[in-house]
Structure 1
Amino acid sequence: MTKKLHIFDLDNTLTESRTIIDTETSRLLCELMLYSNVAVISGAAFWQFEKQLLLGMNCNDCFKNLTILTTSGAEMWRYDMVWNKIYSNVIPEDIRIRTIRLVADVAGIPTGEETTYIEDRGSGITYSALGVTAPPEKKNLWDKDQKKRLAMVEKLLPQLPELSIRIGGTTSIDFTLSGIDKTYGVQKISEYLHIPLSECVFVGDALFPGGNDNAVERLDIDMIQTSGPEETRRIIKSFIS
């Protein structure tokens, strides 16, 4: 094993979108944490990480080697008997209110149904085109070429100069404060653990232009594209072999 820090995206990398981690991926990730630091970064809020990732991992004794970066790196969480928030970059309330209104207008969401499609996480906002509870099989077919979401992003960018706006997952668009993205999150965890980027590797499914993993390309860091959890399991096996 040549790297000291292995950084993973969550949805469509370690798990299917908003789906609990499977037993084999959990086992491999726990084994990796015996030898290396691991970080997981996603547009999700911490409660979603708990449901989707942490509750499915039976290796709390290894959590000292795990860092959670929520809302695309806007928050960092570390474990010391309990999970503690290390930092948080909250979007001001007036900007969050304006963002939700603009997204609802552009997406044609009826008044009163905003929370079905838009999640306000404080440090980040996520729009899910098919709703937050849509099944993965429907999500995977909705916007394979990202054209629908790219058109929305193009309309929203001039109206929200205070925010970074990126395509995420299969149906979502993520909003954070300007300058807060996975590049920021990766830099912060590298600095916090005193591990140089040359000793890190990033694994994600959305390294394409406009994807929410693509920002990491700005860093001098090794990157590995994955097609989903099955391929990610093979990648983790290569790390621990």
Structure 2
Amino acid sequence: MCPIAVHGWDELDMDAACATMRAVAFDLDGTLARSRKPMDAAMTERFAALTRLLPVAVVTGGRYELVVSQVLAVLGGDADLSNLHLMPTRGTRYYRWRDGDWRCEYSFDLSDADRARAMDSLERHARDQGVWYERVWGERIEDRGSQLTFSALGQQAPVELRERWDPDNEKKNRLAAAVAADVPELLVQPGGTTSVDISLRGYDKAYAMRRLAAILGIGVGQIMFVGDRMTPAGNDYPAARAGAIAVRVSGPEDTLRLCDAIIQRLSRRGA
């Protein structure tokens, strides 16, 4: 078996990667934008430019409505929406621009029984581990249909608090492991800065990469996936395991520089 390669954005052989890639996929929070914040103006400009050069996907644990507020709402009219692929809730849902609107092409939802068992386990273990706080900002457990998401500080917690809560991922990893033991038939993974995500087993960012490759008629190895959580325990790592060109960034500032390098080379290739 070939070793799984993850490249730092500033270590990648950019010429070789751009010669191979036929699509680029991005994580959202911590990659394109800060947690639950819209892409800034510079990122929006580069993101739109990429859609005019090749297929672009957003693959995130967040729900579709967050993709709308963080990405779609700030895109101008110069983006090629027909080249944009939206894969929220870890790719358990897929949206395309068709006939002047965004349409859900597929959705793999949890059953009522799975949802009830998972929610009970989340609350019980979060209380036992001391991460079920009295004061939270917004929903603590959000039902996204195809995914349940536990947010320790609440869905609307200030970004500065979320980023400080679990910098080494120890709290999320411990909670995810405890819940996974209760619901082995489901996929339980650490999510964003304060979250644990639960979905049907077999549907993660590896599945999203394979499904995107099939939709585009290319190989998984021709997709570059860019994410900030590329360690083996991170929620972006399954994309690397699937065989995508896996690129690690530490935040949107790195992603911006990476986009500039890609745009420069692909624009030259198309000239």
Normalised TM-score (structure 1): 0.95
Rg bigger for which structure?
2
Task: Tell me the residue number matched to 2:126.
Answer: 107
Structure 1 residue corresponding to 2:247, chosen from 224, 233, 240:
224
Equivalent residues of 1:104, 1:110 under 8 A apart:
no
Task: Tell me the residue number matched to 2:57.
Answer: 39
| CA distance in structure 2 between the aligned counterparts of 1:227 and 1:151, rounded to whole angstroms | 23
Specify the code of the residue in structure 1 equivalent to 2:70.
Answer: Q
Post-superposition offset of 1:115: 6.8
Post-superposition offset of 1:155: 1.0
Post-superposition offset of 1:137: 1.1
| CA distance in structure 2 between the aligned counterparts of 1:105 and 1:59, rounded to whole angstroms | 47
Task: Tell me the residue number matched to 2:107.
Answer: 88
Give the RMSD, CA atoms, in angstroms.
1.7
Task: Tell me the residue number matched to 1:205.
Answer: 228
Equivalent residues of 2:137, 2:156 under 8 A apart:
no
Post-superposition offset of 1:217: 2.3
Alignment of 1:124-203 (within 5 A): 124-203=147-226
Task: Tell me the residue number matched to 1:65.
Answer: 83
Post-superposition offset of 1:199: 1.6
| Residues 220, 54 of structure 1: alpha-carbon distance in 2 compared, 3 angstrom cutoff | same
- State yes or no: 1:7 paired with 2:25: yes
| CA distance in structure 1 between the aligned counterparts of 2:79 and 2:158, rounded to whole angstroms | 33
Q: Report how many aligned residue pairs link the two structures.
A: 240
Normalised TM-score (structure 2): 0.85
| Residues 141, 189 of structure 1: alpha-carbon distance in 2 compared, 3 angstrom cutoff | same
Provide the secondary structure at the position in 2 that maps to 1:116.
coil
| CA distance in structure 1 between the aligned counterparts of 2:212 and 2:200, rounded to whole angstroms | 18
Could you list the runs of 5+ residues in structure 2 that have no partner in the other structure?
A: 1-17, 265-271
Provide the secondary structure at the position in 2 that maps to 1:125.
strand
CA deviation vs aligned residue, 1:128-158 (integer Å, no higher than 9, x gap): 1111111111111111111111111121111
| CA distance in structure 2 between the aligned counterparts of 1:150 and 1:61, rounded to whole angstroms | 37
Specify the code of the residue in structure 1 equivalent to 2:121.
Answer: L
Specify the code of the residue in structure 1 equivalent to 2:209.
Answer: V
Specify the code of the residue in structure 2 equivalent to 1:142.
Answer: W
Provide the secondary structure at the position in 2 that maps to 1:165.
strand
Task: Tell me the residue number matched to 2:267.
Answer: none
